[in-house]
Amino acid sequence: MSKAKKTKFITEDIFKSSLLGAFKKLNPRYMMKNPVMFVVEIGFVVTLLLCFFPNLFGDQGNNLRLYNGIVAAILLITLLFANFAEGVAEGRGKAQAKSLKKTQKDMQARILSGSGQETVISASDLKKEDVVLVKAGELIPNDGEVMEGIASVDESAITGESAPVLKERGGDFASVTGGTTVTSDWLKIRITSNPGESFLDKMISLVEGASRKKTPNEIALNTLLVSLTIIFLIVIVSLYPMAVYSGVRLPISTLIALTVCLIPTTIGGLLSAIGIAGMDRVTRFNVIALSGKAVEVCGDVDTMILDKTGTITYGNRRAAKFIPVGNSNEQELIYYSLISSLQDDTPEGKSIIELGERLSGNHQEAIPGMEFMEFSVQTRMSGVSLPDGTRIRKGASDAIQTYVQDLGGSIPKDLETEVNEVARLGGTPLVVCAGSRILGVIYLKDTIKEGLVERFARLRAIGIKTIMCTGDNPLTAATIAQEAGVDSFIAECKPEDKIKAIKAEQAEGKVVAMTGDGTNDAPALAQANVGIAMNSGTTAAKEAANMVDLDSDPTKILDVVEIGKQLLITRGSLTTFSIANDIAKYFAIIPAMFMAVIPQMGMLNIMALSTPSSAILSALIFNAIIIPLLIPLAMKGVKYRPMRAEKMLSRNMLIYGLGGVVVPFLGIKLIDLAITPLLAALAL
């Protein structure tokens, strides 16, 4: 995966705000949003009342007031820990939002009237369709499209990358973002959003969590937790008359402790934090998810549709092979190819030098006095003229042939065969000549990006199909697809073909992800379940997608899918751990409640806990402290490893299912050993 921006897990400011927020969130109107923790709060209120009125429900016993107070204190700590976990997740988002807000302070705009007159106003007064002029060193006041001019724009305030981006009218690089800085020349920009609706405003709102809605998966899990809570409440309510019938008087605070320990409080306390952390994790990879659902859906992606150029390949053709023709040899061809490319600053020219020096093992220096001829559309060739009169040229096959024939040279018989073979493979044949003699062909091809073969293999291992879309002919497309390791391809692909491919996959029940940056990609981005638009792309593409990659790196979609899967795995793993916890708590509390009257229940006291009171309080204390201990895991996420779903399920059940049983057994026993002397001193 690409490297994420490294941030501190928790800063002093986040700690303070989270601690204060933990108390503020005790408000019942807020706690009702989390039914599991709301049940804990009700239990806290009831036990708190029992501290002052111990006989309120007919309970009797020595030191019952003190026992109720200890239970109430542990329940309060449990609530604060759960609220603190959510506060930490929110705090990280608010810290990011704070840095983004700095770009909006006191921003001015130079608005142009119809006659071209300039007026400086506050950026907050700009409206959609207004035209502004932004000069070097000035901030772009709001999102817009370049109408006139060409300039470098520093987008580091948003992307974190220092390299400026060239912006100009037309094409896929006409879109500009409010809060970025023009570093050279000037731009005339048409504003495309109203105040408060810009991309930067949306980013701030999203990372703050202000507009975060629960995702379908989160809602489903919440429903499961509520159902489990209701079931345990019914069981515990039924337990009271059974205990009375058996001659056991159970204090109400003990029943509340049992309820809190058995309902899934661990995952209930961490669920919101996991969801917020998922969006935060994507943001740290410089991807803005326009909804929590988008991150979640990434974890369910079955099919990925990717453009070839710029995504799978570099987009610039690079030298791949030197093919001599006639009576020339490879070393001779390499030498003259290097000489002709020494002053060629194009990507193709640089790649010829790189490949030639690697194959020959020599570093070629420029010859003093040689003159460089740049490529032109008219001649369709470039090259150099040496001081001794030798003219070296490289260019299109027909242009070089005409040039050589005009000098009285002949055409090698195998030239046409080699040129046609390179073209058949989808490459560009670049013919090289020295004077009137043709030396050979340089095979230029669109090169596969490093590491993609391994990444596609990793996706295939978890059942995700990759489809490459390209405008190339079928033969070229097949060659690139085979080299890259994608599962399928669509050759001579038009925008409507992408939509057709997405719909075909969705008709089979597949979840489809796609990346794009142009206006013609917008319909397909909107149709896909996960659409990632490039920040350098058009406004239409960004509005159609549900994620925006600030780095404009199309391969980032591979990382986003893994982040989405990590979110789902984290949620599932911690849910498994939480429910498994209940088994250990059951063996701690139930035997303790009935051992005095039913000695046979002692067989279930496999942890050999000291007394009923210590057993109940130990389980309750463990239930509270496990929440903050799991905060780092909830925030960082369970490490994702590409593997089949069934293998992943087995692995997580082994680690978090078995671990969820073993850890509480050890934890509760250790707590019991620690508090038993204290409880004995208090006569509890």
pLDDT exceeding 90 applies to what percent of the chain? 21
Question: How many CB atoms are closer than 10 A to CB 184?
Answer: 14
Higher pLDDT, 403 or 156: 403
Q: What is the tens place of the pLDDT at every residue in 188-202? A: 888 888 777 766 666
Beta bridge partners of 533: 516, 548
Q: What is the tens place of the pLDDT at every residue in 609-618? A: 888 888 889 9
Beta strands 287-289; 175-176: pairing state: unpaired
Q: How far apart (Å, rounded) are the C-alpha atoms in residues 198 and 192?
A: 8
Structure tokens that stand for 40 in this block: 């804990």
Q: How far apart (Å, rounded) are the C-alpha atoms in residues 644 and 654?
A: 16
Task: Kindly list the catalytic residues.
Answer: 307
472 has binding-site annotation: no
Domains, the chain, in order of start with CATH, read 12-95+208-283+561-682 (no CATH), 291-312+449-550 (3.40.50.1000), 317-447 (3.40.1110.10)
Stretch 311-322: mean pLDDT = 80
Closest CA to 440 of 330, 601, 306: 330
pTM greater than 0.85: no
Q: What is the tens place of the pLDDT at every residue in 620-666? A: 999 999 999 998 888 888 887 777 767 877 888 888 888 888 899 89
The string of DSSP letters for 546-591 reads SEEETT--TTHHHHHHHHHHHHHHHHHHHHHHHHHHHHHHHHHHHH
Q: What is the tens place of the pLDDT at every residue in 542-565? A: 778 888 887 767 667 777 888 888
185, 151 in Cβ contact below 8 A? yes
Q: Hey, which bits of 300-352 come out as E strands?
A: 303-307, 313-324
pLDDT exceeding 70 applies to what percent of the chain? 87
Stretch 664-670: mean pLDDT = 91
With a cut of 70, say whether residue 102 has pLDDT above it. no
517 has binding-site annotation: yes
With a cut of 70, say whether residue 310 has pLDDT above it. no
Task: Give kind and range of the element (H or E) at residue 361.
Answer: none
Q: Is 220 exposed, middle or buried (0-12, 13-18, 19+ CB in 10 A)?
A: exposed
Beta bridge partners of 165: 153
The set of residues, in sequence order, having a beta carbon less than 8 Å from that of 585 and lying 6+ positions away, is: 261, 262, 619, 622, 623, 664, 668
154 has binding-site annotation: no
Q: What is the tens place of the pLDDT at every residue in 415-469? A: 999 998 888 777 889 999 999 999 999 998 877 777 788 888 888 877 889 998 8
What pLDDT score was predicted for residue 353? 92
What pLDDT score was predicted for residue 624? 92
Closest CA to 196 of 115, 126, 145: 126
What pLDDT score was predicted for residue 104? 53
Beta bridge partners of 305: 467, 514
Nearest-5° Cα angle at 663, 224 to 227:
10
3-state secondary structure of 307: strand
Higher pLDDT, 245 or 367: 367
What pLDDT score was predicted for residue 210? 44
Task: Give kind and range of the element (H or E) at residue 479.
Answer: helix 474-484
Separation of CA 662 from chain center:
33
Q: Kindly list the distances between the CA atom of residue 231 and the CA atoms of 38, 287, 486, in Å, as whole numbers in the listed order.
A: 16, 41, 48
pLDDT band (50, 70, 90) for residue 48 = very high
